[in-house]
Structure 1
Amino acid sequence: MHIAPNIAAKAQKIKFLILDVDGVLTDNRLYYSDSGEELKAFYTRDGHGMVMLKKSGVDIGIITGRTSKLVAKRCQDLKINHLYMGVPDKLPSFLELLATLKLAPEQIAYIGDDILDLPILKRIGFSITPADGEAEVKSRVDYVSNYIGGQGVVREVCEIIMRSQGTFQQHMDFYLRDLAE
């Protein structure tokens, strides 16, 4: 994976990754069953990327405009403790999180896909949107992913951060270890 030097410099500083849900962790579509139950599909490779990133020392949070039991369950499964749901104006939650974590804005990365994410995207150290993010967002972020929302954007960003910080190889070494010894 080639990482441009300017992107690697931004990613090296990251201590916390914030994610939007719809259009980032999911494919941006809402699914409902006949009974009205909301359904979402999460990409498992994104989930494993988050697990590796957390093991590498970069924590993760979610700020989403919608409220969903499915998102709460996914956060529980991935041990994501910083979850803000039902906040259409995401900036106050971001500022609260920043104060709680005692981090500088340049230590934060954020993946968002729509114009409601811009108030955060313009205030942080490393801003990212999926390949299918809104044009107004694409023109204002540091990095446009090679992947669309719900299909690998989070994994790609996790790997960019880990590779830039020199922590990715420890995960490869673990999976490539020789168990015959």
Structure 2
Amino acid sequence: MGKAIDFKQIQLLIMDVDGVLTDGGIIVHSDGSESKRFCVYDGHRIRMWHRSGRLSAIISGRDSRPTTLRAEQLEIKYVHQGCTQKLPAFESLMGELDMRPEQVAYVGAALMDIPIVRRVGFGVAVANAAEDLKQVADWATCRPGGSGAVGETIEYILRQAGVWEPLMQRYRI
């Protein structure tokens, strides 16, 4: 990490879907519908993120019913899909939520994530991300997309912000 990051001010986590919340694979069924595999570990950490009082959002290049359903399950209120250019969706979110880019962490995997990763307070590339994205990211996960990379990112941010331990109290006897 080259720049100084104030993790306490990170209030919004934006995630790509394909290659981040999933491994990037898509199963297309004979009726034309599709399936995606999401990691439960990520889902649990997203719920912890929300319990810490923070917001989450999705900006995806593809429009997908499974993504909509998973976002609903995890109570992710801000979902932008079918974004061939992701920056306008990001700028729209900043306006809608009255936030500054420094307050945002973004987790991506693809080349189209580079413009946002360059602008946010904490830009993250998953372990199996495009090399060019890794070069501009502030941090890279050890876990690949679809296998807990988002959960790893959330835990890292919350630990750095000093709020992980209070969230863990509910799991201690």
- TM-score relative to the length of structure 1: 0.91
Aligned ranges 1:153-172 → 2 under 5 Å = 153-172=149-168
Report what 1:57 is aligned to: 53
Tell me, yes or no, if structure 1 residue 102 matches structure 2 residue 88.
Answer: no
User: What amino acid maps onto 2:90 in structure 1?
Assistant: F
Shift of 1:176: 1.1
**Higher Cα Rg: structure 1 or 2?**
1
User: What amino acid maps onto 2:115 in structure 1?
Assistant: P
Report what 2:42 is aligned to: 46
Shift of 1:166: 1.7
Mapped partners of 1:32, 1:122: distance in 2:
33
Mapped partners of 2:30, 2:115: distance in 1:
36
Query: Which residue, out of 12, 16, 23, partners 1:20?
Result: 16
Unaligned runs of 5+ in 2: none
Tell me, yes or no, if structure 1 residue 115 matches structure 2 residue 115.
Answer: no
Report what 2:89 is aligned to: 93
Aligned ranges 1:61-76 → 2 under 5 Å = 61-76=57-72
Mapped partners of 2:34, 2:9: distance in 1:
37
Alpha-carbon displacement from aligned partner over 1:54-86 (angstroms, at most 9, x marks no partner):
110111000001111111111111111100011
Report what 1:11 is aligned to: 7
> Considering only aligned residues, what root-mean-square deviation do their CA atoms show, in Å?
1.6
Alpha-carbon displacement from aligned partner over 1:80-99 (angstroms, at most 9, x marks no partner):
11000111101111001001
Shift of 1:5: 10
Whether the aligned pair in 2 keeps the contact of 1:111 and 1:127 (CA below 8 Å) is: yes
Whether the aligned pair in 2 keeps the contact of 1:11 and 1:160 (CA below 8 Å) is: no
Q: Per the alignment, in what secondary structure is the counterpart of residue 165 of structure 2?
A: helix
Mapped partners of 1:40, 1:60: distance in 2:
20
Shift of 1:6: 6.5
Q: Per the alignment, in what secondary structure is the counterpart of residue 85 of structure 2?
A: coil
Mapped partners of 1:5, 1:22: distance in 2:
27
Tell me, yes or no, if structure 1 residue 36 matches structure 2 residue 32.
Answer: yes
Whether the aligned pair in 2 keeps the contact of 1:68 and 1:85 (CA below 8 Å) is: yes
Query: Which residue, out of 124, 149, 154, partners 1:128?
Result: 124
Unaligned runs of 5+ in 1: none
Q: Per the alignment, in what secondary structure is the counterpart of residue 139 of structure 1?
A: helix
User: What amino acid maps onto 2:31 in structure 1?
Assistant: S
